[in-house]
Amino acid sequence: MAPDAVTRPLWNALVWLAWSSGHPDAACALWERSGLWRLRPRRTAGQRLGLLGLWLLSAVAILAACGLVLVTVGPRLLPFQTYAVLSGSMRPTLPVGSIVVLAPAAADDLVVGDVITFARPDRPGEFVTHRIVRVENDGTGPLLVTKGDANPVEDAWRVPQRGSGWRSVGSIPLLGYVLAVVQSPIGKVLLLLAPALALAFWTLVELWHPAPRPRLRTAPA
């Protein structure tokens, strides 16, 4: 009689322990006694779908991890910066929750239509990402007039066009939400536990799946 769902992982573990400890005869005896050979070695449709889902989830997790490394470590090594979009002033170009990728640019190279990130003149510690809509001159030099794509009016401040700045070269949707979660205390704990949980889950899947029949070692003639 084939083992049930409760005893199957126990028999699998015993067979594996006997085989890995260098006792193939004992492993074969346990295999025959357990009835594991009565089980079909092929995975069922549900198991195949579950395995496919696990692979897809792993692929998504790997891509998310690569994206997080890019936006957190990349700016320290490469000449670009990233900022999370926290408001809807630049919709639909930059949806809330996306990450905007910025490259350095000389102020003289900035033109109307560019999306730039700058320190808000009336709040130096706050950064804003808006589009240049026109350039005006008050006698002291050119000033950039900015506006959010979703805002009905231009910004009240003017940004002096001198030195260098940061110009948007692209964006990554939704990654801002992921970054916010990972940077939270709970997110950091989950990020540390994720590899251990994945390994434990994979071990349980392998234990529940029928073990392959061990091969007897033949002595040389």
Q: What is the CATH number of the domain that holds 149?
A: 2.10.109.10
Question: Residue 87: inside a domain, yes or no?
Answer: yes
Question: Residue 141: inside a domain, yes or no?
Answer: yes
Question: Residue 116: inside a domain, yes or no?
Answer: yes
Q: What is the mean pLDDT of residues 129-158?
A: 94
Q: Is the pLDDT of residue 116 over 90?
A: yes
Question: Residue 64: inside a domain, yes or no?
Answer: no
Higher pLDDT, 171 or 210: 171
pLDDT of residue 189: 77
Share of the chain above pLDDT 70, in %: 73
pLDDT of residue 219: 47
Q: What is the mean pLDDT of residues 142-150?
A: 96
Closest C-alpha among 140, 130, 116, 119 to residue 88: 130
Question: Residue 215: inside a domain, yes or no?
Answer: no
> How is the chain split among helix, strand and coil, in percent rounded to 5?
45, 25, 35
Q: Number of structural domains, the chain? A: 1
Query: What is the token pair recorded at 23?
Result: 């006792």
Distance CA 217, CA 204 (A): 28
Chain segment 28-85, per-residue pLDDT in tens:
777 677 665 455 455 566 666 766 777 777 777 777 677 777 777 778 788 899 888 9
Give the domain range for residue 106.
79-174
Question: Residue 10: inside a domain, yes or no?
Answer: no
Residues 6 or more apart whose CB falls under 8 angstroms from that of 115 comprise 90, 93, 94, 100, 129, 130, 131, 132, 167, 168
User: What is the total residue count of the chain?
Assistant: 221
In the sheet where 81-84 sits, what is the strand order? 81-84, 99-106, 164-172, 115-120, 123-137, 142-147, 159-160
The answer to whether 128 and 117 are in contact (CB under 8 A) is yes
Closest C-alpha among 117, 102, 111 to residue 132: 111
Question: Residue 29: inside a domain, yes or no?
Answer: no
Question: Residue 8: inside a domain, yes or no?
Answer: no
